[in-house]
Amino acid sequence: MKIAMIGTGYVGLVSGVCFSDFGHEVVCVDKNLDKLALLRAGKTPIFEPGLDQLMARNMAANRLSFTDDLKEATQGADTVFIAVGTPSRRGDGHADLSFVFGAVKEVAEVLTRPAVIVIKSTVPVGTNQKVADILKDVRPDLDCDVVSNPEFLREGAAIDDFMHPDRVVVGVQSDRGNEVMQEVYRPLSLRDYPVLTTDLETAEMIKYAANAFLATKVTFINEIAMLCERTGADVKDVANGMGFDSRIGPKFLQAGPGYGGSCFPKDTKALARIGQDNATPLQIVETVIKVNEEVKRLMIDKIVDLCDEKLQKKTIAVLGLTFKPDTDDMRDAPALTVVPALVGLGADVRVVDPQAFREAEAMLPNVTWFDDPYEAVDGADAVVLLTEWNEFRALDLREMASRMASARMADLRNMYSCDYALEAGFEAYLGMGRKSRLPLDG
User: Catalytic residue numbers?
Assistant: 263
Question: CA 402, CA 31: separation in Å to the nearest integer?
Answer: 52
Contact 433, 235 (CB under 8 A): yes
Residue 74 CB partners (closer than 8 Å, separation 6+): 4, 80, 107, 110, 111, 112, 115
Question: CA 338, CA 301: separation in Å to the nearest integer?
Answer: 10
Q: Which long-range contacts (CB under 8 A, 24 or more apart) does 100-106 make?
A: 100/127, 100/131, 101/130, 101/131, 101/134, 103/6, 103/7, 104/131, 104/134, 104/135, 105/134, 105/138, 106/70
Question: CA 61, CA 354: separation in Å to the nearest integer?
Answer: 31
Q: Calculate ∠ Cα 410-286-131, nearest 5°.
A: 115
